[in-house]
Amino acid sequence: MCIFCDIIAGKIPSTKVNENDDFLAFEDINKIAPIHVLIIPKEHIPSFNEMPAQKMAQMSEFIKETAQKLGVFEDGYRLITNINDNGGQEVKHLHFHLVGGAKLKWPKLV
Ligand code: 5GP
Ligand code: ZN
């Protein structure tokens, strides 16, 4: 259905950092920080806009568990989800970027 569905299916290799029945976390192929992981639902949901609240609650717990596994939970990290064209979403399968491993800058975006 999309490139991230292919990663879930194992058709495209990825470096997994956390996984359960419903969610997968894997390293971004083009890191923008020392730690840059993508966290996705295994169900093809196009963006945050279409994400049901109950599933988002489960995803929040999975994201926090992933931050713990990566060792950034206490020191801090950043979550980003790009939504549709103005948000700069390239892959139309909901994903949170978890970035960290350094003191992150907060740049102007426009
Ligand atoms: P977006 O711009 O949609 O928020 O982010 C898409 C992200 O997916 C980008 O950071 C890009 O580096 C990452 N990406 C695209 N294709 C692949 C791939 O085949 N494997 C992995 N691991 N990451 C990918
Ligand atoms: Zn997909």
Q: Taking the domains of the chain in order of start, what are their residue ranges?
A: 3-100
**CA 25 remoteness from chain centre:** 7
At 53, list the tokens: 């609240």
Expressed in angstroms and rounded, the spacing between residue 108 Cα and the centre of ligand 1 is: 22
Average pLDDT over every residue of 101-110: 96
Distance, CA of 83 to CA of 90 (rounded, Å): 9
Which atom of ligand 1 is closest in space to residue 32's alpha carbon?
Answer: 10
Percent of the chain with pLDDT over 90: 99
Kindly state if the Cβ of 19 falls inside 6 Å of ligand 1.
no
Q: Is the pLDDT assigned to residue 1 strictly greater than 90?
A: no
Expressed in angstroms and rounded, the spacing between residue 97 Cα and the centre of ligand 2 is: 16
User: Residues 69-101: pLDDT tens digits?
Assistant: 999 999 999 999 999 999 999 999 999 999 999
Kindly state if the Cβ of 3 falls inside 6 Å of ligand 1.
yes
- Its CATH class, for the domain covering 3-100, is alpha beta
Is residue 100 within 8 A of residue 33, CB to CB? The reply is yes
